[in-house]
């Protein structure tokens, strides 16, 4: 399960759905898309979105955040073996500290900061890569 704040990019969503379709036999990936807050300040938006995230996320969850620890394929593969595996991606303003504190893991996708829509697509691609490796498929060939 991937819980994300904000509308997905249509082009990236099509790519994500194609990968989800390909790995359907290996593992199930579902999306919970939460509307971005329209509150006036970033702090108020993060606080409002945190309530929605914490209601939607399955605990324990892994938070993808620019302040997290580096994520590698071994860590991702290990997390995917947890049942159910849940990932949280915040909105354009990031996440409230409550979401960060309740996360079982806090990882970043790399040294660069990505939009939440791109972070979601990267995560799905990495889930696909790990799923294919688990069955011995020579992805990305």
> What tens digit of pLDDT does each residue of 119-129 get?
999 999 999 99
pLDDT for 88 = 98
Whole-prediction pTM value? 0.92
Beta strands in the chain (DSSP E): 2-5, 31-34, 62-70, 87-89, 105-108
| Collapsed DSSP state (helix, strand, coil) of residue 84 | coil
The pLDDT of 36-42, averaged and rounded, is 96
Q: Kindly tell me if the per-residue pLDDT of 134 is higher than 90.
A: no
Q: Which CATH number fits domain 2-134: 3.40.50.10480, 3.40.50.720, 3.30.930.10, 3.40.1280.10?
A: 3.40.1280.10
Where is average pLDDT lowest: 47-56, 69-78, 95-104? Answer: 69-78
């Amino acid at each position: 399960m991937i819980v994300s704040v904000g509308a997905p990019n249509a082009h990236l969503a099509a790519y994500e759905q194609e990968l989800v379709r390909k790995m359907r036999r290996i593992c199930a990936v579902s999306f919970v898309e939460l509307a971005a807050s329209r509150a006036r300040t970033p702090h108020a938006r993060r606080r409002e979105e945190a309530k929605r995230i914490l209601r939607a996320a399955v605990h324990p969850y892994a938070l993808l955040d620019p302040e997290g620890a580096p994520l590698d394929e071994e860590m991702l593969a290990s997390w995917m073996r947890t049942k159910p595996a849940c990932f949280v991606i915040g909105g354009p303003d990031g996440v409230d500290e409550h979401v960060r504190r309740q996360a079982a893991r806090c990882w970043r996708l790399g040294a660069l900061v990505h939009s939440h829509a791109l972070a979601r697509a990267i995560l799905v691609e990495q889930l696909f890569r790990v799923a294919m490796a688990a069955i011995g498929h020579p992805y990305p060939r």
